[in-house]
Amino acid sequence: MDARGYVLSIDQGTTGTTVLVLDRRLSIKARVNQEIRQIFPRPGWVEHDLEDIWGSVNRTIAEALRLSGVRPAEISAIGITNQRETTCLWERDGGRPLHNAIVWQDRRTADACTKLREAGHEPLFRERTGLVLDPYFSGTKLAWLLSNVEHARERAEKGEIGFGTIDSFLLFRLTGGRVHATDVTNASRTLLFDIGRLAWDEDLCRILGVPEIVLPEVCGSSELLGKTRGLSVLPDGIPIAGMAGDQQAALFGQACFSPGESKCTYGTGAFLLVNTGGTPAVSRSGLLTTVAWRVGPEVAYALEGSAFVAGAAVQWLRDGLGIIESAAEIEPLARKVRDTGGVTFVPALAGLGAPHWRPEARGLITGIDRGTTAAHLARAVLEGMALQIHDLAIAMSADSGRPLSALRVDGGACGNNLLMQIQADVLGVPVERPKMIESTALGAAFLAGLATGLWKSRDEVAKAHRIDKRFTPRLEPAARAALLDRWKRAVERA
């Protein structure tokens, strides 16, 4: 491999697309982000325009190359990481989307999930996929598209259209329509994939009414998936060699390679994962069992807890209420008060995920009085984000049989020092933030670089994982207990 080799990492997230250019030493040569449009056709519905996403990917690649000074021909490999569960349908001939993508936050299939549970199907889905029947996942979204987009089912059965999550769509476009594939981590989030056999499941497809011909090929997370073709921003022939859902990529990027190691990523939502090794672990506490990665012959699994709304609550303060003009303003605003003044915010703006799994839940603010200010509400939003992670950590400790000793964090919102201190306070354990908080993009880059020989071993990414700041708990036990009791009562009312 050329000593000048660089990796391009595409992180296509819920609120925007980020592209990083990294060198062999895992130093970031450029980082570019562009927000994408959020579409809300009805209450509880969330969509993305796939052409918006594709345009953002092209623009961020071009700008990252310009800023880095790296020539396109110097890119040795491309890694992709993506918002998971977001569901796409497109024409195999040319790649034209049939409909907006249905985003993971979308709740339109809540009734369909209820009917599936009432029909007694949930134990089978739980056993084979490690998931619960919730509109969060791709399977019922795909079933909705096939039933509601004109001629979609007919065309799917003829093999004219393809389904995929965002990784599949990007891979299809990057390869000029030559590759329709996904990796095991994204496949494991669809409700259609047997995580023990690592294969699409005929029974589950039948129950959801999904023709198997519409599904992508399933590949490993670190292997040659395809090569660039027909792009304006990159030359033909660059290997696309790393692909993983954003949370699994972050677990890899945080060097959580051994069973028991865990991380929490704070993005639009917040996601706590623990590596459970080579055997799927069954949760008794409402967590999900998921594939962490497949690298060569090695398959690793994880337990996962998902909080649907984290950074999205800050966006709501900005866009919905107009309390702040930018996300960065929430920390100085929240620091104007010592506590929330008794205000509790439950961020159930898209239902409640693990360990509650209540899609019908709605956001709740309690404890408001005449003295409540915007600062109190801002602090309550940060506190609500942290308290959701507390619930996940308790469930994870119950399933693993070991209490959390420290929490590794990453994602954009972990740069908020006040949020991280609140997180340490409510957990009662230290929170460790690495120097490089772009763990999701780092994981995708490292998966791609391993597959192409740019890096020889995982030791090299482990060396890149250095702690920048450690937040230790400061809250008195009695105050912590009172806070958790207030939170529990509010969640019950949400």
Q: CA 221 to CA 294: how far, in whole Å? A: 5
Q: What is the pLDDT of residue 3?
A: 45
pLDDT band for 494, please (50, 70, 90 cuts). confident
Nearest to 252, CA basis, from 220, 286, 285: 220
Q: What is the pLDDT of residue 27?
A: 84
Count of helix runs (H) and strand runs (E) in the chain: 16, 23
Give residue for tokens 């069954």: 282
What are the beta bridge partners of residue 21? 8, 30
Q: What is the mean pLDDT of residues 413-419?
A: 90
Sequence-ordered list of residues with C-beta below 8 angstroms from that of 164, at least 6 positions apart, any chain: 88, 90, 171, 172, 180, 182, 216
Q: Residue 208: which H helix or E strand, with range? A: helix 202-208
Q: CA 246 to CA 167: how far, in whole Å? A: 10
* Choice among 371-375, 413-417, 443-447 with the minimum mean pLDDT: 413-417
What percentage of residues in the chain have a pLDDT greater than 90?
Answer: 69
What confidence tens digit (pLDDT) does each residue in 46-86 have?
999 999 999 999 999 999 999 999 999 999 999 999 999 99
pLDDT band for 2, please (50, 70, 90 cuts). very low
What percentage of residues in the chain have a pLDDT greater than 70?
Answer: 99
Beta strands in 308-422 (DSSP E): 344-346, 364-366, 407-410
In contact, 83 and 101? CB cutoff 8 Å: no
pLDDT band for 435, please (50, 70, 90 cuts). confident
Sequence-ordered list of residues with C-beta below 8 angstroms from that of 13, at least 6 positions apart, any chain: 82, 83, 246, 267, 268, 440
Q: What is the pLDDT of residue 350?
A: 80
Residue 172 above 50 pLDDT? yes
Q: What is the mean pLDDT of residues 12-20?
A: 93
Give the tokens for residue 381.
């939003």
Q: CA 367 to CA 406: how far, in whole Å? A: 31
- The 3-state DSSP class for residue 95 equals coil
What confidence tens digit (pLDDT) does each residue in 315-366 have?
898 988 899 988 889 999 999 999 999 999 999 888 887 788 787 888 899 9
Q: Residue 275: which H helix or E strand, with range? A: strand 270-277
What confidence tens digit (pLDDT) does each residue in 449-466 have?
999 988 888 887 777 667
- The 3-state DSSP class for residue 167 equals helix
In 244-297, which ranges are continuous DSSP H helix?
Answer: 246-253
* Choice among 168-172, 209-213, 278-282 with the minimum mean pLDDT: 278-282
Q: What is the mean pLDDT of residues 125-149?
A: 94
Nearest to 18, CA basis, from 6, 35, 1, 3: 35
Q: Which domains does the chain have, with CATH numbers?
A: 6-247 (3.30.420.40)
What confidence tens digit (pLDDT) does each residue in 296-316 have?
999 999 999 888 888 888 889
Sequence-ordered list of residues with C-beta below 8 angstroms from that of 79, at least 6 positions apart, any chain: 7, 8, 9, 10, 240, 241, 242, 243, 249, 441, 443, 444, 445, 446, 447, 448, 449
Q: Interhelix angle for 110-118 vs 138-148, to 10°?
A: 110
Q: What is the pLDDT of residue 465?
A: 66
